[in-house]
Structure 1
Amino acid sequence: MSADPEGPALTFWDHLDELRTTLFHISITTVVAMVACYALSDSLRDLLLSPFVKAAATIGSGAGSLVLLRPTEGFVVQLKLALFAGLIVSSPLNFWHLWRFISPGLHENERRAALPFISVATLLFLTGVLFGFQILAYTTGFFLQFATAEVSNQWSLSAYIGFVTQMLLAFGIIFELPLVIWILARMGLVTQHTLRQYRRHAIVVILVISAILTPPDPVSQLVMAVPLWLLYELSVLVCVLVLREPGPQEPVSDGAQDDSLGTAPGVDEEDRRESTNDAAASEDPSERTDTRGGTRG
Structure 2
Amino acid sequence: MPGARRANPERRMALREHLREARRRLVLACLGILVGAVVGWIVYDTVFALLQRPMEEVAAERDGLAALNFAGVATAIDMKVKISFFLGILIASPWWLYQFWAFITPGLTRVEKRYAFAFLGSAVPLFLGGAAVAWFMLPRAVSILFEFVPDGSASLIDAQTYLSFVMRFLLAFGFAFLVPVVMVALTFLGIVQARTWLNGWRWAILLSFTFAAVMTPTPDVITMIWVALPVCALYFVAVGICALRGRQVARRASTDPAPASP
Same fold? TM cut 0.5: yes
TM-score by length of 2: 0.66
Deviation per residue, 1:25-60 (Å, 9 max, x gap): 953x54444333312111111111111112222233
Greater helix content: 2
Residues 1-297 of structure 1 correspond to what in structure 2 (within 5 A)? 23=27, 27=31, 29-61=32-64, 64-93=66-95, 103-147=105-149, 153-179=155-181, 182=184, 183=186, 186=193, 188-191=195-198, 195=201, 213=218, 221=222, 225-226=225-226, 228-244=228-244, 245-246=246-247, 247=250, 248-249=253-254
Instruction: Look up the match of 2:6.
Output: none
- Between the aligned partners of 1:18 and 1:198, the Cα distance in structure 2 is 30
- Which ranges of structure 1 fall in alignment gaps of 5 or more residues? 1-9, 255-297
CA distance in structure 1 between the aligned counterparts of 2:22 and 2:172, rounded to whole angstroms: 34
Q: How many residues align?
A: 235
| CA RMSD in angstroms, aligned pairs only | 4.7
Is the CA contact (8 Å cut-off) linking 2:98 and 2:120 kept in structure 1?
Answer: no
Deviates more, 1:173-182 or 1:115-124: 173-182
- CA 1:37–1:242 in 2, change beyond 3 Å: closer, same or farther? closer
Give, in whole Å, the separation in 2 of the partners of 1:17 and 1:237.
32
The residue identity in structure 2 corresponding to 1:35 is V
1:195 and 1:110 map into 2 onto residues whose CA distance is 27
Instruction: Decide whether aligned partners of structure 1 residues 229 and 90 sit closer, same or farther in structure 2, where only a CA change above 3 A counts.
Output: closer
State the distance in 2 between where 1:210 and 1:90 align: 24
Alpha-carbon contact 2:127-2:177 (below 8 Å) kept: yes
Opposite residue 48 of structure 2, the aligned amino acid is R
Q: Flag the 1:210–1:58 CA change in 2: closer, same or farther, 3 A.
A: farther
- With over 3 angstroms needed to count, the CA separation of the structure-2 counterparts of 1:75 and 1:238, relative to structure 1, is closer
**1:73-111 CA deviation, whole Å, 9 max, x = no partner?**
111111222222233323434555676676445432432
- Percent identity over the alignment? 20
State the structure with more CA Rg: 1
Query: Deviation per CA, 1:113-138, whole angstroms, max 9, x where unpaired?
Result: 21111221221111110010011001
| TM-score, length basis structure 1 | 0.60
Q: Which residue of 2 aligns with 1:271?
A: none
Distance in 2 separating the partners of 1:113 and 1:157: 43
